[in-house]
Amino acid sequence: MSLLLLFSLFCAGDALAEETAAPAEPTYSREEWRPSIEATLDQLDLLDLFATATKFGGMKIKVPKEMQSLPMRMIEGADELKDKGIELKVTELEFRNLKIVRDKSAQWRDERPFMPVRLEFDKLGVSADAKTKVGVVPVGAVFEQGSMPADFLPLIKKGFNLEVLPEKRLEETNLDKVKLKVGGALTSSIANRFFSKKVARLILEHGVGQTLQMGQNDLMGGSGGGAGGIAGKLIDGGRDTPANRAASSLIDQLLN
């Protein structure tokens, strides 16, 4: 009797496992992926224009409040922040001579599209506010002559996901030349207890990730000489109009 009961329980367990097994991920044809790919390419075209604008005195980007806070998964990766209960909010980034290296079409892996890019820059500055037990401490860092990879991953009917500094491409990362920035004597003594190159890199990763997903208004509303105006005119002229092509040609001549 007991053997029969055990056999019944065993069969029931197998049946339950089959019922609760995760459904197979749906597959889509390349034609079905096309709208998501085109939307991602539009974003990359916008970022190309932004990169061009950074060559004219640089561009400063104000990070919207709803995008400033570092995700918990990033803070948990830095013990010096987690142990001290410090909250970080990225407030501003500054790009100079940014170049986005990428293909003009999607690549494919396991029948899913992805678009790898590499950001190369002369200067990339990041500013943040650190909320501590004694108040808010401004911190920042300047990365020079660096590069960092990112992967744009189109999603069916949902735009795209973004991976900054993906593990498989860490060899393309160069963020070694960095200068940390803190405020006066009091804030410096506080910041030195938690602010490190590792933390600066977390801030940079989050800030760049948010910037790469920004729309036209947030990207082209920055300051920095005449860069914002130049970028805005390129956008307003349309991405493929005679006026825009003429402006792009003039910029290319000035830069080369």
- Print pLDDT tens along the chain (256 aa): 455 545 455 555 555 555 555 666 788 999 999 999 999 999 999 999 999 999 988 999 999 999 999 887 787 667 778 778 888 999 999 999 999 999 999 999 989 999 999 999 999 999 999 888 888 889 999 999 999 999 999 999 878 999 999 999 999 999 999 999 886 666 677 777 788 898 899 999 999 999 999 998 888 764 444 444 455 555 555 455 554 555 455 445 444 4
Has residue 1 been placed in a domain? no
Domain count, the chain: 1
- What is the Cα–Cα distance from 191 to 181, expressed in whole angstroms? 9
Helix (H, G, I), strand (E, B) or coil at 244: helix
Vertex 204, ends 203 and 207: CA angle to 5°? 85
Closest CA to 77 of 195, 208, 199, 178: 199
Has residue 17 been placed in a domain? no
- What is the Cα–Cα distance from 206 to 85, expressed in whole angstroms? 19
Q: Where are the beta strands (DSSP E) in 70-202?
A: 87-96, 99-102, 107-109, 112-132, 135-154, 160-164, 178-182
Has residue 18 been placed in a domain? no
Calculate Rg over the CA atoms of the chain: 23
Has residue 133 been placed in a domain? yes
Vertex 46, ends 237 and 179: CA angle to 5°? 125
Residue pLDDT, tens place only, 239-256: 555 545 554 554 454 444
Has residue 15 been placed in a domain? no
Domain of residue 133 covers: 27-255
pLDDT computed for residue 43 by the predictor: 95
Has residue 2 been placed in a domain? no
Contact predicate 125/141, CB 8 Å: yes
The string over 243-254, giving b where at least 16 C-beta atoms fall within 10 Å of a residue's C-beta and e elsewhere, is: ebeebbeebeee
pLDDT computed for residue 254 by the predictor: 41
pLDDT computed for residue 240 by the predictor: 57
Has residue 5 been placed in a domain? no
pLDDT computed for residue 79 by the predictor: 73
Residue pLDDT, tens place only, 182-220: 866 666 777 777 888 988 999 999 999 999 999 988 887
pTM over 0.75: yes
Closest CA to 128 of 177, 93, 79, 83: 93
The string over 220-230, giving b where at least 16 C-beta atoms fall within 10 Å of a residue's C-beta and e elsewhere, is: bebebeebbeb
Contact predicate 110/81, CB 8 Å: no
pLDDT computed for residue 221 by the predictor: 66
pLDDT computed for residue 226 by the predictor: 44
User: 62: part of which helix (H) or strand (E)?
Assistant: strand 59-62
Which residues are CB-neighbours of 164 under 8 A, at least 6 positions away?
148, 149, 150, 205, 208, 209, 212
pLDDT computed for residue 37 by the predictor: 96
Helix (H, G, I), strand (E, B) or coil at 108: strand
- What is the Cα–Cα distance from 211 to 227, expressed in whole angstroms? 16
Has residue 34 been placed in a domain? yes
pLDDT computed for residue 144 by the predictor: 97
Q: Which two tokens stand for residue 117?
A: 């890019």
Q: Which two tokens stand for residue 154?
A: 């189109």
Q: Roughly how many angstroms between the first and final C-alpha of the chain, as a whole number? A: 87
